[in-house]
Structure 1
Amino acid sequence: MSVHTSGHDLGSAVPAPGAKPARRADLDGVRGLAIALVVVFHVWFGRVSGGVDVFLAMSGFFFVGTLLRTAESGAALDPVPVVRRVGRRLLPPLVLVLTVTVLATTVILPSTQWFRVADETGASLLFFQNWHLARSGSDYLAADPMVSPLQHLWSIAVQGQFYLAALVVVFAVAWLLRRRSLPVRPVLAVLLAALTAASLTYATVSEHPQSWLYYDSAARAWELTLGGLLACVVPWLRLPRWARIALGVAALAVLLSCGFLLDGNALFPGPWALVPVGAAMALIVAGAAPGDTTPDTPTARVLSSRPLLRLGAIAYALYLWHWPILIGYLVVRQHPSAGLVGGLGVVVVSLLLAEASTRWLEEPLRRTEPPRSARTALVSAVAVTAVALFAAANLWGVHIDRASQALAHTAELPADLYPGAAVFDPAVQADPQPIQPPLQVAHLDLPPATLDNCIAQHTNRSPLTCTYGDPLATRRMVLVGGSHSEHWLAALDALGIEHNFRLDTYLKVGCPLSDPLAPLVEDSPTVECDTWSTAVLAELRADPPDYVFTTSTRTKDEGEGPGDFTPFWYVDLWQTLADHGIPVIAIRDNPWLFRDGVAYRAADCLAGGGTAESCGVPREEALDPVDPAIAASAHLPSVSLIDMSDLFCRQDLCRAVEGNILIYRDENHLTTTYVRTMTPELGERLGPLTGWW
């Protein structure tokens, strides 16, 4: 999302030294159209419209144009006024929205979610939010009550980083060329063209997953540098009016249809992002004849209309406000989507807040009319608030770090007070105790492989293996798959130590092991998992284990009905392993937490006043009456099945807490603390299947 820096009125002609080009109203209209697309698609369609890509490209155009104008004017290349001006425009609205969001979070969200908002608040204030989301592997998700209210601020971070980099590059180039009395524009154009090509190439061929590239500043840079390149060459682009009319109409049509035709979440910022970015660049070229700012084409006149101009004026504030308002509405209403009426309410509230913050915060800081003391007081208030926000975010982080120290003791909980899964034995009774692990840090109760960095991340296609259990044993089991295989590791590790078998792991985030039947293709959405799976299977064939341990089912997706199922690719894998003489032990997946089609975290529900029962899920919604893997594996005698459902669910209900221990660390993964309490029962099932005890 772009804020209109002082170059928003960049004209098509090369200005005289020190002159400020006349304003192009149609470019404000492009900004207004882009923010309209962003809001509409976020609120009602849950898709990426391409509007943010337009803002990034326009930011590059405006900002580089401003810097270039300074460089060509002969004025001092002083970065301080530029940094001050950009900070004055970016920070005050951002700080205001962050403050309101943090306060609202403490009111409407359970305390278990405060840490995430606090963490992202600090990252947003430092213009680091995009890297924070990339590092955590966050996909850019459609709005729902589980999504962060600050997720959208990744683009503000990318923009802020670009401003700093562009300031250094343009002024450095200008300084070097001034000493040699050489023109800045041609050299800068060549440099920006090279940077654009490099960034676009990186976004296209990088092996990083889409969840990383979407936020990666290096992959996004080309959208901004392309805008900067156009600012350099636009005086030389001369098209007849009929060509500009045709170009403008085509570009407008492309921009309006982009969100419907392209899945930007999966395709951007790769080559397909050239569609919205190219449309924006075409609208700049088509809007007015060189040296003229009068909209002389139908498209330019539409973009210069009063509604789009006003939307353009409040675009930055509207972008900041609309997402937290939308997420807040969904949280309060507990709906997966806003709907028509609710969406209209979100839009109206967002428009009112954007208008108010633009009129009473942004514009007073841009104008020179108010008394200097008033501006100083306003800037000081913003600065103090920003420091207070950052301090509060860090203090909450310290609090969570201290609370997480309790996790070190969950393995030593007294079994009489915290029986966990053992409570399903009628002979076991336990009086109510404070829930363990503590709700605030339940998300940190992770399996050993994650803590040991022994699970391959999104960016790692190569097999990563670690050894647990008894490393000197001759009997060998291999645990394979994604995080739902991983969360059984604590129990299998304990059993390996007790019964003398070696446990090797081949785990990758989000990737159940599979046997890719089609050739590996880079543009396949599953290429990361397929490449990893192919390599793991090769290692298993080269050194066959006694058993492979993996999952046998998955919860059905929304719209497919209640219950669970065995995917066909699981069965294909079992057949492949059978062909290589490797027997499989497959365990039924645990129930997932969904309510009205929306996933929820058990800790959030409990912290919000829920109970073990109300925060659970009906058994009939989570599981089929009969383990679906039984029928799916009936033709494969090499596959043995384990179903631990009766240690998650009672007859009608799968509760969130059993035996005073929290079962879930999020909406579908088990706490390691609860898994440890399942070790005896898992051992009773596993021993006869292996014959090892």
Structure 2
Amino acid sequence: MLSLRAPEAPALPRERTFLPEVQALRALAVLLVVVYHLWPNRLTGGYVGVDVFFVISGFLITSHLRREVERTGTLSLRAFYARRARRLLPAALLVLLVTALASGLLLPVSRWAATAGDVLASTFYAQNWALAGRAVDYSASQDAASVVQHYWSLSVEEQFYAVWPLLVLFLVWLAGRTRPGRSLLLPGIAVVTVASLAWSVYWTATEPAAAYFQTPTRVWELGVGAVLALALTGRRLATWLRAGTAAPLVLRWAGFAAITVAAVTLSSSSPFPGYLALLPVLGTAAVIAAGDTGPRDPSSRLVSFAPTQFVGDVSYAVYLWHWPLIVLAPFALARPLTTVDKIAVLAASLVLAWLTRRLVEQPALQWRRLRRPLVVGVSTVAAMALVAGVAGWQYHRVAMAEADARDALAAAQDDPCFGAGSLAPGATGCGDVYGPPASLTLTDDDQPWFIDPACRLTEGGRSDTDLDVTTCRFGSEPPTRRVALVGDSHAEHWRGAVHEVARRQNWELVEILRGACPVTEARVLAFQGADTDTDGCARWGGEVTDWLTSHDVDAVVTSSFTTAFTFDGADSLEAGVQGFQATWSTWLEAGLEVDVLRDVPTTGLPHVPECLQAHPGDPLACSRPRADAVVPDAATLAVERTPAPGLHLVDLTDLFCDETTCYTAIGGAVVYWDANHLTAQYSRSLAPFLLEELV
């Protein structure tokens, strides 16, 4: 007898409480990040492991929120935030506390203040915004890596956790008011996700350095996991994935392949996140959507492999520990990390992670008293206050060290033998010219981009121009001359000397500066081997020339980090020479005198003050052979090949080097602020010699 009843829809599979594929993704993600940090040239895109974590977090948190809404019709915010705090804060704050204490013991004084600031930012989960702010500041782009900068991704996640349940509650309330019995979670979250993706693509193209860290450009990655968590509850999708088709197998393999391709092909120069992040994000979503693909899938054995699951279990703690170990280990060992050292760091990260999991994370989740939101809140405030107190102690140490440094330099700078003065012709009784400096601690007064009250921004800052013009007026009498200081940060670090000359000669000084951009008609393709803003630099250089040739300026003093640039041409050096010649010819034809300051010798060091602090009694350990430090550069060659009235080369190399060696401490002064920029203290000591050349 025929039945006219419609066949019943296949029953949805019971929702699994343990997802081994997610643990495998966690293991893959943390290993990608750690290997990338240890061997960045071997796995150039390993940073996509962070994107994998974002998708997983969005998926798991939204799954939990969905289940609670389905069960109770609402959310308990107190309970949600307490659970997140129990899960994440104990390990995170422990690592911050240990790292802050270890940094005070191992890092040089020059890094105490920055480390304390980053520890505070990480404690209150604002590290991503701190890094985003520094990313758009060229003067900070040469800073050494922060010992806790990896907390930026945790900051993004915590900010997501703070807002996401509120969004879910709003969508539940809105559905109750406008569509009773229907859910707005999936369409509402999908809209937020698409909007964040669009902003990410736009902002990555506009401000790529800042876009990498900012929360709005990353929310869509967590949103993809959230959309997946909601979509998988739908009968149609779940039935298609589980109805004996090959779809799960294809999804899993395609997902793992996408993550692998991203890790291998992307690099630090890739515009990321933006649309490129779709590769690891959708790959992760595909693996999660595939779920359990069964024992016949060869990947299942690897996914369920005990070591894979173990690394997945401890992945959070591994992520927390690995970066402080990488940064601090070279200081503890007093040498760069070798391959054996790096393997030891990886092993130590796993051991510390296991101990943290067993002794901190699991007890915090199981301790019954910590299940009360009030207890969690009080404990959280107390733990954060402890870490903040350690950071405050570091600030106090910095203040004491800087006060001592200012006193020492105030006494030393009155000595005619201080800094470059020790190398003046006829200088006598200057003692050990290349001996230890008067103070190894540098203060804000020593930075190349110091603030001078005589200077103010007079033009620029408008949306229609890249040009910022700062005017510095010294003295009360009418200026004897109007001089422009022009170039990149290697023109800016001459400000100490140029300002002293301007004061003595009663000049009006105009400063037109932009980091990583020389003023030349040659197109700059790369800066220190990395992609740069080629079109922006070219546009800015043209605006500089237009301004100089249309304003009342007597002379231009210019310099640039010439050896750091790759110019567009078959021969980069020759293209650079021709570009400078063309630019200076235009200036000379406009009646300007052009003084080209030869760039300072290169140090070959990642950070000069840290080297000096590591060898307090032997500053010569941080010196460099002159043959390596002073090499032909495009600007110098351009002057030498262009004998023209009004064009002069100012070469003060002999105030940095003798016949064989270039030094980083001279006459009691520290010469370099970082790897290649002059300190203001040494720059000022060069003023008498620069005056002799310019006047």
**TM-score range for the pair, normalised by the shorter chain length:** 0.7 to 0.9
Distance 1:279 1:71 in 2: 28
2:496 to 477, 485, 490: 490
Deviations 1:381-439 (A, max 9, x none): 87645322211212432553576578888689653266321110232434689955661
Question: Retained in 1: the 8 A contact 2:488–2:559?
Answer: no
Q: 1:59 aligns with which of 57, 60, 63?
A: 57
C-alpha contact 1:111 1:604 (8 A) present in aligned 2: no
1:575–1:636 contact (8 Å) kept in structure 2: no
Q: Which residue of 2 aligns with 1:673?
A: 681
The 2-side partners of 1:474 and 1:29 are apart by 72
2:151 to 148, 153, 164: 153
Letter in 2 for 1:331: F
Kindly state the Cα deviation for residue 350 of structure 1 after the two structures are TM-superposed: 0.9
Q: Does 1:96 align with 2:104?
A: no
Normalising by structure 2, we get a TM-score of: 0.83
Secondary structure of the structure 2 residue equivalent to 1:439: coil
Number of the residue aligned with 2:7: none
Cα shift at 1:63: 1.3
One-letter amino acid of the counterpart of residue 40, structure 1: V
Alignment-derived partner of residue 518 in structure 2: 512
d(CA) in 2 for partners of 1:379 and 1:193?
A: 32
Asked whether the equivalents of residues 602 and 630 of structure 2 are also in contact (C-alpha less than 8 Å), the reply is: no
Q: Distance in 2 between matches of 1:264 and 1:502?
A: 42
CA–CA separation in structure 2 for the residues paired with 1:204 and 1:516? 30
Counterpart for residue 276 of structure 1: 280
Match of 2:483 among 477, 485, 503: 477
User: In the TM superposition, what are the counterparts of 1:488-567 in structure 2 within 5 Å?
Assistant: 488-515=494-521, 517=523, 525-543=533-551, 545-551=553-559, 554-555=562-563
Native 8 Å contact 2:318 2:349 kept in 1: yes
Among 82, 85, 89, the alignment partner of 1:84 is 82
Q: Secondary structure, in 3 states, of the residue corresponding to 2:620?
A: coil
Distance in 2 between the 1:227 and 1:176 partners? 22
Match of 2:118 in 1: 120
Q: Tell me which residue corresponds to 2:347.
A: 348
Deviates more, 1:669-678 or 1:394-403: 394-403
Partner of 1:54: helix, strand, or coil? helix
SS in 2 for 1:148: coil
Distance 1:434 1:31, change over 3 A: closer
The one-letter code matched in structure 2 to 1:199 is S
Q: Does the 8 Å contact 2:193/2:224 carry over to 1? A: yes
User: Does the C-alpha gap of structure 1 residues 676 and 260 become closer, same or farther in structure 2, counting only changes over 3 Å?
Assistant: same
**1:227 counterpart residue number:** 225
Take 1:436 and 1:469, find their aligned partners in 2: how far apart are those partners? Answer: 32
Cα displacement (A) at 1:218: 1.5
CA contact (8 A) 1:485 1:551 kept: yes
Task: Specify the alignment match of 1:660 in structure 2.
Answer: 668
Relative to 1, partners in 2 of residues 1:334 and 1:589: Cα closer, same or farther, differing over 3 Å?
farther
2:97–2:390: 8 Å Cα contact kept in structure 1?
no
Deviations 1:63-109 (A, max 9, x none): 12222222232254221111111111111111121222223223322
Contact 1:467-1:502 at 8 Å conserved across structures: yes
The aligned counterpart of 1:29 is 24
- Per-residue CA deviations over 1:347-379 (Å, capped at 9, x if unaligned) read 1111111111112211122236x7879999999
> Using the alignment, how far apart are the partners of 1:197 and 1:536 within structure 2?
40
Cα deviation, residue 245, structure 1: 1.6
Contact 2:416 2:422 (8 Å CA) reproduced: no
Partner SS, residue 569 of structure 1: helix
The farther-off stretch of 546-555 and 122-131 is 546-555
Counterpart residue number, 1:594:
604
1:319 matched to which residue of 2? Answer: 319
Q: Do the aligned partners of residues 430 and 603 (structure 1) sit closer, same or farther apart at CA in structure 2, a change above 3 Å counting?
A: farther
Shift of 1:441: 2.1
User: Where does structure 2 lack aligned partners over 5 or more consecutive residues?
Assistant: 1-10, 526-530, 567-571
C-alpha deviation, 1:154, in angstroms: 1.0
Structure 1 CA distance for aligned equivalents of residues 460 and 397 of structure 2: 30
- Match for 2:222: what amino acid? L
Could you tell me which of 569, 580, 584 is aligned with 2:576? 569
Partners of 1:307 and 1:437 in 2: how far apart? 51
**CA drift at 1:301:** 5.0
How many angstroms apart in 2 are the aligned matches of 1:372 and 1:477? 67
User: Could you tell me which amino acid in structure 2 is paired with residue 649 of structure 1?
Assistant: C
SS at match of 2:135: coil
Q: 2:105 is matched by which residue type in structure 1?
A: V
Match of 1:690 in 2: none
Tell me how far apart the structure 1 counterparts of residues 488 and 300 of structure 2 sit (CA, whole Å). 52
Report Cα offsets for 1:596-651 as digits up to 9, x if no partner: xxx12325523653433233333232113x77754343332344211111112233
Q: Quote the Cα distance in structure 1 between the aligned partners of 2:536 and 2:634.
A: 28
User: Residue 247 of structure 1 aligns with which residue?
Assistant: 251
1:194 aligns with 2:191: yes
- Cα displacement (A) at 1:442: 5.9
2:418 equivalent to 1:419: yes
Q: 1:54 to 1:552 in 2, by over 3 A?
A: closer
**1:74 matches 2:72:** yes
Alpha-carbon distance in 1 for matches of 2:233, 2:611: 56
Kindly tell me the number of residue pairs found equivalent between the two proteins: 648
Query: For residues 194 and 524 of structure 1, do their structure 2 counterparts lie closer, same or farther at Cα, with a shift above 3 Å needed?
Result: farther
1 CA distance for matches of 2:446 and 2:377?
Answer: 39
CA distance in structure 2 between the aligned counterparts of 1:517 and 1:465, rounded to whole angstroms: 22
Counterpart-to-counterpart distance in 2, 1:33 and 1:152: 17
| CA distance 1:328–1:51, shift in 2 (3 Å) | same
State the distance in 2 between where 1:658 and 1:483 align. 22
Contact 1:295 1:304 in 2 (8 A): no
TM-score of the aligned structures, taking structure 1 as reference length: 0.83
- Following the alignment from structure 1 to structure 2, what is the Cα–Cα distance between the partners of residues 214 and 620? 39
Greater displacement, 375-384 / 476-485: 375-384
8 Å Cα contact 2:75-2:165 kept in structure 1: no
- Judging changes above 3 Å, is the alpha-carbon distance between structure 1 residues 567 and 34 closer, same or farther for their aligned structure 2 residues? farther
Query: Which residue, out of 253, 256, 260, partners 2:260?
Result: 256
Contact 1:407 1:445 in 2 (8 A): no
Report Cα offsets for 1:569-608 as digits up to 9, x if no partner. Answer: 364033133135255321111123325xxx1232552365
Unaligned runs of 5+ in 1: 1-12, 559-564, 688-693
Aligned to 2:39: 44
Q: Is the 8 A contact 2:74 2:169 kept in 1?
A: no
Checking the alignment, whether the CA contact within 8 Å between 1:329 and 1:338 is kept in structure 2 is no
**Equivalence for 1:605:** 612
Q: Secondary structure at the match of 1:664?
A: coil
Q: Which moved more, 1:208-217 or 1:122-131?
A: 208-217
Query: Against the structure 1 CA distance between its residues 63 and 439, is the aligned structure 2 distance closer, same or farther, given a 3 Å change threshold?
Result: same
The 8 Å contact of residues 287 and 296 in structure 1, kept in 2 or not, is answered as no
From the superposition, tell whether residues 267 and 373 of structure 1 become closer, same or farther in structure 2 (CA, over 3 Å).
closer
Contact 1:53–1:273 (8 Å) recurs in 2: yes
In 2, distance between residues paired with 1:374 and 1:80? 9
The C-alpha deviation readout for 1:24-83, integer Å capped at 9, x for no partner, is 221221111211222222222353311111111211111122222222322542211111
Amino acid at match of 1:130: N
For the 8 Å contact 1:288–1:297, the answer to whether it is kept is no
Distance 1:557 1:531 in 2: 17
Equivalent residue for 1:682, pick from 667, 686, 690: 690
**Within 5 Å, which residues of 2 pair with 1:97-496?**
97-137=95-135, 146-179=144-177, 182=180, 185=183, 187-206=184-203, 208-236=206-234, 237=237, 238-239=240-241, 241-264=245-268, 266-288=270-292, 297-300=297-300, 302-333=302-333, 336=336, 338-339=338-339, 341-367=340-366, 384-401=382-399, 414-416=413-415, 419-425=418-424, 426-430=426-430, 435=437, 439-441=441-443, 445-448=447-450, 462-469=466-473, 472-473=478-479, 475-496=481-502
Alpha-carbon deviations, 1:443-469, whole Å to 9, x = none?
853434688686999x99611111125
Report the CA distance between 1:148 and its aligned residue.
2.5
